[in-house]
Amino acid sequence: MNETLDITITKTDQSRLTGIDFAQLPFGKVFSDHMFIAEYNNGEWSNLQVLPYGPVPMSPAISALHYGQAIFEGLKAYKQADGKISVFRADKNFERFNKSAHRMAMPAIPKEIFMQGIAALLEIDEAWIPALDGYSLYIRPVMYATDPYLGVRASDTYTFCLLTTPTGHYYSKALKVKVETEFTRADDGGVGFAKTAGNYARSLYPFAEAQKEGFDQLIWTDAATHEFIEEAGTANLIFVINGKLVTPSVRSTVLDGVTRDTIITLAKRAGVEVEERRVSVKEVIEGIQSGAVTDAFAAGTAATVTPIGEIGYEGQLYQLPAVETRTVSAGIAKALNDIRYGLAPDEFGWNWIVR
């Protein structure tokens, strides 16, 4: 980031911060005072602004609404123990954002805009970063097509936006999850590896049906056979099988999760053997029954490390060992949090110190 960008700053007249109860934060519903916006037109990004959070004008004919050109990311800012403000693994999220953009025929966002936009927003809304254990400021970069044109082609114009929302724990208990064997989230050659809006839209109906049965999330399986585990609705999936950390390998149908990558690195540092490979439903179910599977958890920016307590499959519920017995995931979760909150050395250079 050699060039300092010209970002127009317009501050709100009235902060909403004083009315926020940080102890009672529903995820993704409370937004900070400001947002960052950049516009793409005629082959270049311009009109960089930080302005008060609120509605943006748009035509009902924009391409994003009709043809689904919309992508996003998720990362977090932390207030560290010494008072510094850091963003965790911003480089990795930036790279994945542009990987999604490429697949969706959208323009790349320059690194200067991505990073300096975050820095400018955090400088103004620093007070929105909770100084509480387990809390952070979730950052949502999003890009959407804005051509007011009803024709099936890539848009010529786009908006890039950064939103932030203070957050605590995404899940408050061990998850009860269902193995989905009828519907599919992604298929080979599709866009399953991209964080594009349509991936999540197609998951909503099966998820709603699972909720009626008392489940918290779905375990998505491969589209061809439904024999292999891919990921959960909001996170990657990781298992401990015979003492090894086992996770479905990244494919065109599996998101290359930043938290997943982080956990694999931390596990290897701790001397835990890691296997990235196809993981069958049969292996996991039989492993639970035999005792070979001693741990299972969801891993994502929002979920962080969330234990799975029960897995439903073909009408049966399979109970995993008590969370208190899970030394592998507990140790990794602690190591991860210690780095993010500045309680342990950042030997991998994951923390971007904004201030």
In terms of residue numbers, what domain contains 74? 8-167
313 touches 225 (CB < 8 A): no
pLDDT, position 74: 97
pLDDT digits over 32-43, tens only?
999 999 999 999
CA 348 to chain centre: 20
Q: Are residues 196 and 115 in the same domain?
A: no
Q: Are residues 113 and 216 in the same domain?
A: no
217 touches 209 (CB < 8 A): no
219 touches 285 (CB < 8 A): no
103 touches 253 (CB < 8 A): no
pLDDT, position 27: 87
Is residue 147 pLDDT above 60, yes or no? Answer: yes
pLDDT, position 2: 65
Whole-angstrom Cα distance, residue 102 to residue 290? Answer: 44
* 349: CB partners within 8 A, 6+ apart: none
Which of 133, 148, 167 is where one domain is finished? Answer: 167
Asked whether residue 33 is assigned to any structural domain, the reply reads yes
Q: Are residues 158 and 204 in the same domain?
A: no
State the pLDDT confidence band at 21, using cuts at 50, 70 and 90. confident
Give residue 135's identity as a one-letter amino acid code.
Y
pLDDT digits over 63-74, tens only?
999 999 999 999
Residue 227: C-alpha distances to residues 134, 205, 224, 310, 354 (Å): 36, 21, 8, 19, 44
Q: Are residues 131 and 190 in the same domain?
A: no
What's 256's domain CATH number? 3.20.10.10
Long-range contacts at 200-203 (CB < 8 A, ≥ 24 apart)? 200/233, 203/233
Which pair of tokens denotes residue 42? 């005629």
Cα dihedral sign, 255-258-262-268: positive
Q: What is the mean pLDDT of residues 280-308?
A: 96
pLDDT, position 306: 94
Is residue 163 pLDDT above 70, yes or no? Answer: yes
148 touches 62 (CB < 8 A): yes
Which of 167, 186, 204 is where one domain is finished? Answer: 167
Q: Are residues 230 and 160 in the same domain?
A: no
State the pLDDT confidence band at 193, using cuts at 50, 70 and 90. very high
